[in-house]
Amino acid sequence: MGNVPGWQGRRYEDFVIGDVYRHPLGRTITETDNAWFSLLTMNTNMLHYNSEYAERSEFKQLLVYSPLTVAIATGQSVTDVTQNAVANLGWDEIRLPHPVFVGDTLWSESLVLEKRESNSRPDAGIVKVKTRTINQHGDEVCSFKRTFYIYKRGGGPFNDVYPEAKTELRE
């Protein structure tokens, strides 16, 4: 018996080109999420936070602000792809092929496209993934390619960050 560490995320060596990671957490978008994100980022298009206005649009309901969709998709992928990232290097080919509405539940998955050693960081490598997001009906609502630095095993400042408890955990 002993301490068993929780999921620590992938390191550079763990990525295999062609692997698909289905990210475990779905997220239902609320009206508050959409309004706050729209207003926080200074988007003044009422289609995202004024239901009377949105009902007159072709969508007949509030439309989720696209950067929120991208942010949720990125966040959903962190546990599987960038938990141990040094930095994001870029997002490419962002596509939003289907509208997202308040009340939709989003799920994301990522496909490993490329990986290579870093020339400038011996403790990290560079990985590229394609992430796609679907709604509860299976419609693809978002996709993008993302490139990032990721620490190798033993690399980075984040090893052993869990504090040592002063007392033992008991029943």
Q: What is the pLDDT of residue 166?
A: 87
Q: Would you say residue 93 has pLDDT above 90?
A: yes
Nearest 5 degrees, angle CA 64-CA 66-CA 68?
A: 75
The pTM of this model reads 0.88
| CATH number given to 24-151 | 3.10.129.10
Mean residue pLDDT across the chain: 92
Question: Percent of the chain, pLDDT > 70?
Answer: 95
The span from the CA of 54 to the CA of 65, in Å, is 12
pLDDT grade for 137, boundaries at 50, 70 and 90? very high
What are the residue ranges spanned by the domains of the chain? Answer: 24-151
Mean pLDDT score, 88-109: 97
Tokens of residue 127, six digits: 């990985």
- Tokens representing 67 are 């950067």
Distance CA 100, CA 23 (A): 19
